[in-house]
Amino acid sequence: MHIPDGFLSPQTYLPAAALALGAWAWAARGLRERLDETLLPRLAMLTALAYGLGLVMLPLPGGTSGHALGVALLALVFGLRLAFLAYSGVLLLQALLFGAGGLTALPVNALALGLVGGATAIALHRLLRRCNETAAVAVAAWCSVVVPGALVALVLGLQPLIARRPDGAPLFFPFGAEITLPAVLIPHAFIGVGEAALTLLVWRYARMRKWLS
């Protein structure tokens, strides 16, 4: 689901960078307020799990790939600010060490996967947990994959409209939303099922150990 370098126009990634800088500063304040000797090892362990999940690439039609995120787990255990900050670190390391994603695309990837994904998980969990806690966690995790996927697909699909040559040819990503939305959403709807099962398993362990935020 990562957007690599070269796919986004400066008209997209520069405003996203400004927005992400503000969001990272907001998230860092949350880390400073809560950081202690018990939080750090738990946060590091689950962030490492999210990092590992992002490296297990599943081949998809069209020569691309998808993967689980782990951001719902981070958000449900640690809250939105810490989840966003931790997942941004995951994306940065994956881009630098393995070329998964890119540095110019990092702000968009972090905002879509980390911030929107985490916020989606928290909002749906709070909305549904009164009915059934297990279902709430599963739905939250599934949507934390699908909603960011839709956002990434829309950002990519808008690129041909944002940056064109004088002859109308796209300067960056060449395919519109009519292609990117189904290409991203259909496989990630299935990936989200695995994400939901894994999130529920680890969330139950975290609840048993009283790690929840």
Q: Give the tens place of pLDDT for each residue, 22-37.
A: 999 999 988 887 877 7
- Number of Cβ within 10 Å of residue 169's Cβ equals 9
Q: Give the tens place of pLDDT for each residue, 167-184.
A: 888 999 999 999 999 988
Q: Give the tens place of pLDDT for each residue, 126-161.
A: 999 999 999 999 999 999 999 999 999 999 999 999
Please give the C-alpha separations between residue 27 and each of 105, 106, 171, 194, in angstroms, as whole numbers.
Answer: 19, 16, 34, 28
What is the DSSP code string of 148-167?
A: HHHHHHHHHHHHHHHSB-TT
Domains of the chain in start order, with CATH, are 10-208 (1.10.1760.20)
- Check residue 2 and report its DSSP letter: P
- What count of residues does the chain have? 213
Q: 94, 3 in Cβ contact below 8 A?
A: no
Q: Give the tens place of pLDDT for each residue, 42-77.
A: 888 889 888 877 766 666 554 456 667 889 999 999
CA dihedral 158, 160, 166, 169 (to 10 degrees): -170
pTM: 0.90
Q: Give the tens place of pLDDT for each residue, 71-126.
A: 999 999 999 999 999 999 999 998 888 777 789 999 999 999 999 999 999 999 99
pLDDT the model gives residue 63: 46
Query: Residue 4: CB partners within 8 Å, gap ≥ 6?
Result: 99, 101, 102, 105
Residue 195 pLDDT more than 50?
yes
pLDDT the model gives residue 66: 64
Burial code of 40-76, b = ≥16 C-beta within 10 A, e = fewer?
A: eeebeebbebbbebbeeeeebeeeeebbbbbbbbbbb
Give the residue among 74, 69, 121 at the shortest CA–CA distance from 100.
69
**Mean pLDDT over each residue of the chain, to the nearest integer:** 88
CA distance 25 to 48: 22
Q: Which two tokens stand for residue 213?
A: 């935020």
